[in-house]
A and B are shown apart, each in its own frame.
Chain A
């Protein structure tokens, strides 16, 4: 299965600033996803990153707050914009190579907003 490298692994940011998280997959994958995992909770899907087109956002998440890029089949970025302490969370990248392949996750980015 695909191996995902995600960076940074953690960061502490000032409120009002933005952070861009990078996700690199070691092979071409059909689909890439971004999740948020708040402390002690489960994973919530933010959006599906579409190669060459705008991301598909889940209810409660908007492009202005979480702009996503996916320039090719192995790379995606998630930006957390105009951060507030409520954005403190773990952000996880996931990839799916297609039928008969699993859904793989990166190690996550632990974000603290102060």
Chain B
């Protein structure tokens, strides 16, 4: 099966800084990736996704980069705000199987 893991368990930043959260995956058959944000006491919320035929996708204040050569993706958050404090998970999917595999998660702490 696939495993998806993260490099950094905790990331502390100052308000206004840019944040980068990294994720590595092992299954080269993964063709769809999602970043989720999970606040305390809540379920994961969709942030942004990317398909394997792309290497970059931008949303509002967020950008996901995918490097298929090294099986790595990252989530960049611009001008980080205290409300961005949460745990962030990457998840990968082999669309032939329709089930997501989650990485370990990174806690983002934003100081005012």
Contact = CB atoms under 8 A, between A and B. Distances in A.
B46 A107 contact: no
B65 interface: no
Interface string A93-114: 0101000001111111010000
A42 B98 contact: no
Nearest to B44: A105
B99 A48 contact: yes
Contacts of A63: none
B43 A42 contact: no
A2 B58 CA distance: 23
A102 B34 contact: yes
Contacts of B43: 4, 6, 92, 105-108
Interface stretch (B13-21, B71-79, B101-109): B101-109
A19 interface: no
27 contacts: A1-B46, A4-B43, A6-B43, A31-B98, A33-B99, A33-B100, A41-B104, A42-B102, A42-B104, A42-B105, A43-B89, A45-B100, A45-B101, A48-B98, A59-B1, A92-B43, A92-B44, A102-B34, A102-B46, A102-B49, A103-B46, A103-B91, A103-B100, A105-B44, A107-B42, A108-B41, A108-B43
